[in-house]
Amino acid sequence: MSDRWTIATLGAAMAAGRISPLEITRELLTRVGRLDGRVHSFITLDEERALQAARARTEELAGGRRPGPLHGIPLAYKDLCRIPGLPTSCGTRTRDYFVTDVECTAVRRLREAGAVTLGSLNMSELALGPFGDNAHHGDVDNPRRPGHCAGGSSSGSAAAVAAGFALGAVGSDTGGSIRLPAACCGVVGLKPTYGYVSRAGAMPLSWSLDHLGPLAGTVGDVALLLEAIAGHDPRDGTSSRRPAPRANAIESGAAGLRVGVPENYFVDGLAPEVEAGLAEAIRVVERVAAGVKTIRVPDPTTIVDASQVLVACESATIHARVLRERPHELQPVVRGRLEVGLHISAHDYLQAARLRAGAARAFIQEVFAEVDLLVAPTIPEPALAWAVAKAGSADDVIQRMRRFSRLTRPFNGLGLPALSLPCGTSPDGRPLALQIVGRPFDEVSVLRLGRACERETGWTESGPPIV
């Protein structure tokens, strides 16, 4: 197969009869079998049913039936998305940790759009971790920089796309878990606005902060996936009634968009190579957008701290049974993070919710009165070597996790759409990434700027995966 296939180009090739869904699915399964022993991106590879679905999609194409651009496209899903017929371990050692009769809405919508399901993808245990380590299913190694973390918690989702195992994936994001691995692996990842993509049929970590969203090789591909999975779902009480955005709406360029660059918080404590990458990325944004200005944003520390209380309480409640009955099965860092929530009072939980809501309203009103979009780095340093990420005690690792995710977590508390876009590499070849953030439900503007930068630079065409 071509290492440069995108969903868009592969869909066009299949529609023209140059390649079939069955051929591309076989190619990808062969590639996974040959290389994933090093990467560990999959937990369950569903070969038989993937080939069966690919044959059906091939026959439909031969009969002149192609309902949309995702027809026959091989995708895979984070192992907290319920896929009928497959176990859902949520990255734990328990094969069927998450048991429900409800199919993940995002998976169902992509299947109904004609996508082929390859299987379920590795993740940080219970979605608690920004590096992608997993003692039960193997640490997800970075396909772009072996020996380094792939990011987490949607580690397998980003690695599978980066390694050329799947054309796209779905991940979840509670504090950066789509954007962090996208940044580490050099792919595109979108955390949509809170409530834009249904969370029904996906294991929760935090009811207040969870988001599901797409990862793919290009901004255009992410837009195609978002169009398929966004929109109201009566099975999710937080689901918005806003219609899904049209993927072709992002092709109009970024002219007219006012872009802000924070002068505080999001540019503090950056590694030198991230600072250099951000400066170059801002020069690109200046070429494609209406104007770029430096602004001082309200300090998001209150939002982050309040959100941490919410996540701690809600995750401990959701996973109380394993904490109570089988704590020895959990990795020490995961167990330590969950146990914190058992000691937070209802008073503190409600106070955190109140503080978060007020601070979020103030942040959104102040920032977006001046600009249409914010740009900032996704990660404060490039992907860490495994020896560095895991060094020290459990407390040392938890503190390192908080530093690594400090630039993404505010936008979960704010519920804003945030895109991680590759923007070059460090001198030693580790991917760098730009975060583009917009108003609630203005994914189109976020993706318009990302698409304009993509066209201007070729950032998402960095060559075949290294693996």
Predicted pLDDT of residue 460: 85
Cβ-proximal residues to 359 (8 Å cutoff; 6+ apart), any chain: 298, 300, 302, 303, 306, 413
Tokens (6 digits) for 241: 């009634």
153 tagged catalytic: yes
The reply to whether 155 belongs to the active site is no
- Whole-number Å distance between alpha carbons of 155 and 41: 7
Measured CA to CA, the distance from residue 218 to residue 225 in angstroms comes to 11
Domain ranges for the chain: 7-296+374-457
Q: What is the mean pLDDT of residues 104-130?
A: 98
Give all strands (DSSP E) within 122-268, no chain letters.
168-173, 188-191, 211-216, 258-262
Annotated catalytic residue within 89, 153, 155, 240: 153
Distances (CA, A) of 196 to 175, 213, 223, 230, 343: 17, 9, 13, 6, 32
Closest CA to 167 of 372, 13, 358, 350: 13
CA 202: distance to chain centroid? 14
Residues 413, 360: contact at Cβ < 8 Å? yes
- pLDDT tens for 212-268 read 999 999 999 999 999 999 999 999 999 999 999 999 999 999 999 999 999 999 999
What is the SS3 assignment for 368? Answer: coil
293 in active site: no
Contact 377, 433 (CB under 8 A): yes
pLDDT at 28: 98
User: What does CATH list as the number for 7-296+374-457?
Assistant: 3.90.1300.10
The DSSP call for residue 264 is S
Q: Tell me the per-residue pLDDT of 143-195, one tens digit each, with 9 for 90 and over.
A: 999 999 999 999 999 999 999 999 999 999 999 999 999 999 999 999 999 99
pTM of the shown model: 0.97
Catalytic member of 20, 41, 124, 177: 177
DSSP 8-state class, residue 392 = S
Q: How confident is the model at residue 203 (pLDDT cuts 50, 70, 90)?
A: very high
How does residue 1 score in pLDDT terms, banded at 50, 70 and 90?
A: very low
Tens digits of per-residue pLDDT, 400-413? 999 999 999 999 99
* Active-site residue identified among 78, 120, 124, 154: 78
Residue with tokens 């997993």: 134
Q: What is the pLDDT of residues 298-314, one digit of tens each?
A: 999 999 999 999 999 99
Tell me what the mean pLDDT of segment 362-369 comes to. Answer: 97
Does 464 have pLDDT greater than 50?
A: no
Two structure tokens written together for 280: 């170059």
pLDDT in tens, 388-403: 999 999 999 999 999 9
How is residue 253 written in tokens?
């360029």
